[in-house]
Structure 1
Amino acid sequence: MTFTFKALLCIGLTLGLRIPVLAGAFPKPILRIQPDSVVYKQTKVTFLCEGTTEVKGYHLYKDGYKYLRTTGIPQNPRGKTEFSISKIGPEEAGRYSCRYWTRHGWSEYSDSLELVVTGIYGKPSLSVQPSPVVSEGSLLTFQCISGKQYDRFVLTKEGPQKLSWMLDSKYNYSTQQYQAMFSVGPVTSSQRWTFRCYNFNKNSPLLWSEPSEPLELLFSGTLHKPTIKAEPGSVITSGSPMNIWCQGTLEAEIYVLHKDGSQKPWGTQIPQKPENQAKFSISNVTYQLAGQYHCYSYSLEGWSERSDTLELVVTGIYNIKSHLTALPSPVVSSGGNMTLQCVSRERYDKFILTKEDQKFLSSLDSQYIHSVRQYQALFSIDHVTPDHRGTLRCYGFYKDTLQLWSVPSNPLKIHISGLSKKASLLTHQGRILDPGKSLTLQCCSDIKYDRFALYKLGGADFVQRDGQWTQAGLSLANFTLGLVSNSTRGQYRCYGKHNLSSEWSASSDPLDILITGQFPVKPSLSAKPNSTVHSGDNVTLLCQSSYKVDTFILSKEGAAHQYQQLKAKFQVWEFQAEFSMSAVTSDFSGTYRCYASEDSSLYLLSYASAPVELTVSASEKQYHTVQNLIRMGFAVMIFTVLGILVFEAWCIQRQSQCATGK
């Protein structure tokens, strides 16, 4: 029995040396990738496969297929081997595993690792809200944006404690870009938080884009927030130089300027002593610099709070300017009301009004004006104060680019008027003028003003002239407007001012200048019941046109008073207006003409109608009264002459008696 057992044992051991051990009976190898499992294209990558000390060789597999192999003794006593690829390309992206064999058989496969190759597509941009300077435990929102369409975005946290988030991309109609919003937090200061984002398509999930610029979170400390300001101002013309100043406490050792939405700090500066402020210089402002800025200071205690927001606006981006006017005038009394009208032919979404000190007054949505086919905004100031004095401008902009404005409108200077007596505005040529005539307006007052100003409604500013004094004690100034043309039309006002005062007088009454022959319509004028009437009668002057008009204007030749105007009414296939005059007197006698106008151009008139000569004669009763007065006058005159003759005869007789002594 003993011999038989030993013989069987020997045979069994001998056979055991020849029968291979089943695969998987050995420890599973471990696969690692250096420098990382997410690598940039053209990078050298090394796969480390670690088995046991009895390993005879290794195989590296990609996507289940044998990719590389080594044979022979492992490269170190611990049973490791390396598979190196000198320059990774898109074709190397995939899922890798390894296994080894010994003289007893094959091991099982290692756990698989994915190799991601980046740099295949253009890079996205990464930003964080509310700020990259955060406090302990903050919750943040990261926004990854791309101008091109990709299926998904990946947000990665770099460093020893790696994290990653993945989201489908969504189209943002307002920005016309693709984006993903990642919620991250709470964040702690115990680790470094540096982020990048990528994008990729679902049909090749291991081929990623270029990485975004890195975005590192900074944890705020105990320093007080610095102040931030722009020089010469926060509204700057494109192409101009400017400086942004950041000033903090004496402990600050470094300043960082950050632009909201950017991936990294805009700039870093060491403070200038002793003011302890940093200057960030911009030699040429471009539209990319428009936006909101904050600055931070850093000391050994950590980061400060962020400064208040500096909103940098770049103007001159859109070339179509607006036109700014003051209604009714750029001269307004303190405490009065004023409306500022900003008009443009460009369809801007909004208009904004600014003062010369770059303080924003207000912004309003634009409204379409059908009559002139333009867009406007009306800025109302209900209680004007001396603070409103100065130069104003308006700009147009669009809702999706709030810090990019058009070229500025014409400057409009606002003046404050006092309580001094208003001047008078006169014209010796009349208010309704034919083109080609010379026109001079005269502003005068019985107060000796040193200076006068003339303003045309809708104008950018007013014209000023020195005052002159007359022997009658009047002060005046003549404003020669030259030859009358279409552009002369409008409403005018004038003001007076003393040299020692910054305030202008109250406004004169408005003077309207209307220009004739500006559209090819010639109305007709007739008198009812007749053009010759008696004093005290009623008469109607009828103005008519077979063409559509909005208003009729009746003017008397040589009259100093205001013309009359009535809305046109459509009757019996004609447009007409009836100018009624009751109990007329001889003052109503004269030559009348009528004109037509349209609501879209109130100061432009048609050609004049044919003249109508209105004659007002005395009534029969008045005639008899005059005749009686004449007769009585003659009787009185005759009795007076007879009395004088009798008196003279009596005197002569009396003198004769005195001479004879009788």
Structure 2
Amino acid sequence: MISIISIIINITIIIITITTNIITITITIITMIITVISIIITVTTIIVNKAIYIITTILFITITMIIINNITLTIIIILTIINTTIIIALIIFITITFTFTITITIIAAMEVKEFCLDKERSPEPWERKSPGKPGDKAKFRVAHMTQHYAGVYSCHYHSPAGWSERSDPLELLVSGESGKPSLLTQQGPIVASGQSLTLQCRSDVGYDRFVLSKEGGWDLPQSLVLQPHAGLCQAHFPLDTVSSSHGGQYRCYGGYNLSSEWSAPSDPLDILIGGKLPDRPSLSVQPGPRVASGENVTLLCQSQSPTDTFLLSKEGAADPPLHLRSKHRAQQYQAEFSMSPMTSTNGGTYRCYSSHSTSPYLLSLPSEPLELLVSGDPVNITPSVQTPNSTSGPQVPDYTVENHIAMGLSGLILVVLGVLVFQAWYSERRSPGVN
């Protein structure tokens, strides 16, 4: 009898437990449905889909639990799964709600009320500006740039959260107030890909620093001036190993340490990168590689590949290469470089390159070298002007002094022979009268 009562009590306890869990689940489901409805109003479709998926899963588990409610162990397992699912669902919803609140707070904190532009050594903000419309930026314009606006600037803004930190400094430079420097290259204007390249900026004005600028690209770090030499101050800008990105037009400026004023820009220097196009043009000369001074000569650069421009370069010359637009003739692209009249300064070794208008600073492989010899002058080839630290080729010996000495000795010998001939003639003329 006691066993039956004990069994009834245990069954009653189980039924009470199941009923309590069902009530708890029902209340939880109702709470979750209310929460889901609130989330549907405030969150995106993706979050709604997740909530519906969770609700469907819970309903499926509930139906399964009702079907197999007469199996105690299964009920306990299902209840455990349901409780775990509820906890996970609550964690997901709490996380979603918290994330949504944080996002709104951050967006609200980014609402800018005022921007301030500060200039170094200025006690008050240089200029204040409110956003014209909701946003996070403002433009400060300078209509006419003068030395008054040169300096180091930074900006910060005011929002409901307070004042922001200052931005990174920006130095605004004014050029054109003093003498322009010169920009040179040690390797010549055409550099092969993979070689090292160093640009040199120098001036006879006593600048403290130089800066190198690339058109349409980056500004290189400022360089302090090297020790002045022969009245020139100079700085070297090593560009390391040359690649396609180094091709372009460069200028340099000179300045002083305690001023934001910069000089007028140097004359532009074009750096051309050879060997970046697969084409290799050919170079020929008419009437031939050996010409007399005063003759007319034409150098013909040709290529079978489509090209826009041909460039003619003289080895060791500091001047930029000559440019000519290509012409399509007889299944070939070509350009004729005329030289007339020829002088000794035109002698030297020439190469030609091709390029495309879409990337004018990237050149083809060079043609085979063509040596042009000019005769008729005392010295056939005048050495080209070399850039600093460049190595010159073989120098033609200067025999001017030796020639003068030889001519003087020849003249002296002729005078002596003339005296001897005159003396012999005079003695012979006097001989008949004596006899």
Q: Shorter-normalised TM-score: what interval? A: 0.5 to 0.7
Q: 1:498 to 1:392 in 2, by over 3 A?
A: closer
Q: Which residue of 1 aligns with 2:208?
A: 450
Displacement of 1:500 in angstroms is 3.3
CA contact (8 A) 1:292 1:310 kept: no
Q: Which residue of 2 aligns with 1:465?
A: 223
Matches within 5 A, 1:163-562: 285-286=106-107, 311-314=133-136, 358-361=138-141, 383-386=144-147, 389=150, 414-562=172-320
- AA paired with 2:261? E
Q: 1:443 to 1:635 in 2, by over 3 A?
A: closer
CA contact (8 A) 2:112 2:131 kept: no
Return the alpha-carbon distance in structure 2 between the equivalents of residues 560 and 427 of structure 1.
8
CA contact (8 A) 2:253 2:262 kept: yes
- Aligned partner of residue 587 in structure 1, secondary structure: helix
Q: Which residue of 2 aligns with 1:596?
A: 354
Return the alpha-carbon distance in structure 2 between the equivalents of residues 428 and 523 of structure 1.
26
1:567-613 deviations in Å (ceiling 9; x for gaps): 11112221111111110111111111111111111110111111111
- AA paired with 1:312? P
The gaps in structure 2 that reach 5 residues or longer are 1-36, 43-102, 115-129, 155-167, 381-401, 417-435
- Aligned partner of residue 604 in structure 1, secondary structure: strand
CA contact (8 A) 1:286 1:314 kept: no
1:550-571 deviations in Å (ceiling 9; x for gaps): 1111101111112101111112
Q: Which moved more, 1:570-579 or 1:611-620?
A: 611-620
Q: 1:561 to 1:452 in 2, by over 3 A?
A: same
Higher RCO, Cα 8 Å, sep 6+: 2
- Aligned partner of residue 461 in structure 1, secondary structure: coil
Return the alpha-carbon distance in structure 1 between the equivalents of residues 148 and 403 of structure 2.
74
Displacement of 1:386 in angstroms is 3.9
Q: Does 1:637 align with 2:417?
A: no
1:442-476 deviations in Å (ceiling 9; x for gaps): 11111121111111112233321111233412111
- Aligned partner of residue 345 in structure 2, secondary structure: helix
- Aligned partner of residue 133 in structure 2, secondary structure: strand
Displacement of 1:498 in angstroms is 2.0
1:244-273 deviations in Å (ceiling 9; x for gaps): xxxxxxxxxxxxxxxxxxxxxxxxxxxxxx
CA contact (8 A) 1:549 1:598 kept: yes
1:619-638 deviations in Å (ceiling 9; x for gaps): 89x9xxxxxxx999866434
- Aligned partner of residue 134 in structure 2, secondary structure: strand
Which has the larger helix fraction?
2
CA contact (8 A) 1:412 1:461 kept: no
- Aligned partner of residue 637 in structure 1, secondary structure: helix
- Aligned partner of residue 409 in structure 2, secondary structure: helix
Return the alpha-carbon distance in structure 2 between the equivalents of residues 391 and 519 of structure 1.
43
Q: 1:619 to 1:490 in 2, by over 3 A?
A: closer
Q: 1:416 to 1:631 in 2, by over 3 A?
A: closer
- AA paired with 2:409? M
- Aligned partner of residue 521 in structure 1, secondary structure: coil
Return the alpha-carbon distance in structure 1 between the equivalents of residues 215 and 169 of structure 2.
15
- Aligned partner of residue 500 in structure 1, secondary structure: coil
Matches within 5 A, 1:132-171: none
CA contact (8 A) 2:213 2:220 kept: yes
Return the alpha-carbon distance in structure 2 between the equivalents of residues 555 and 531 of structure 1.
16
Q: 1:526 to 1:283 in 2, by over 3 A?
A: same
- AA paired with 2:133? E
CA contact (8 A) 2:150 2:261 kept: no
- AA paired with 1:566? L
Q: 1:520 to 1:427 in 2, by over 3 A?
A: same
Return the alpha-carbon distance in structure 1 between the equivalents of residues 291 and 323 of structure 2.
23
Q: Which residue of 2 aligns with 1:16?
A: none
Return the alpha-carbon distance in structure 2 between the equivalents of residues 310 and 382 of structure 1.
19
- Aligned partner of residue 173 in structure 2, secondary structure: strand
- AA paired with 1:313? G
Return the alpha-carbon distance in structure 2 between the equivalents of residues 512 and 573 of structure 1.
31
CA RMSD of aligned residues (A): 4.1
- AA paired with 1:359? K
- Give identity over the alignment, percent: 47
Return the alpha-carbon distance in structure 2 between the equivalents of residues 468 and 632 of structure 1.
45
CA contact (8 A) 1:550 1:568 kept: yes
Matches within 5 A, 1:31-50: none
- Size of the aligned set, in residue pairs, is 272
- AA paired with 2:146? T
- Aligned partner of residue 286 in structure 1, secondary structure: helix
Q: Does 1:571 align with 2:318?
A: no
1:266-292 deviations in Å (ceiling 9; x for gaps): xxxxxxxxxxxxxxxx99542997699
Return the alpha-carbon distance in structure 2 between the equivalents of residues 572 and 388 of structure 1.
59
Q: 1:283 to 1:390 in 2, by over 3 A?
A: farther
What TM-score, normalized by structure 1, do the two folds share?
A: 0.37
- AA paired with 1:589? G
- Of 577, 580, 586, 2:344 maps to 586
Q: 1:286 to 1:497 in 2, by over 3 A?
A: same
Q: 1:411 to 1:470 in 2, by over 3 A?
A: closer
Q: Which residue of 2 aligns with 1:256?
A: none
Return the alpha-carbon distance in structure 2 between the equivalents of residues 383 and 310 of structure 1.
23
CA contact (8 A) 2:182 2:201 kept: yes
The gaps in structure 1 that reach 5 residues or longer are 1-118, 125-281, 294-307, 316-357, 362-380, 394-409, 623-629, 645-662
CA contact (8 A) 1:555 1:564 kept: yes
Return the alpha-carbon distance in structure 1 between the equivalents of residues 192 and 143 of structure 2.
39
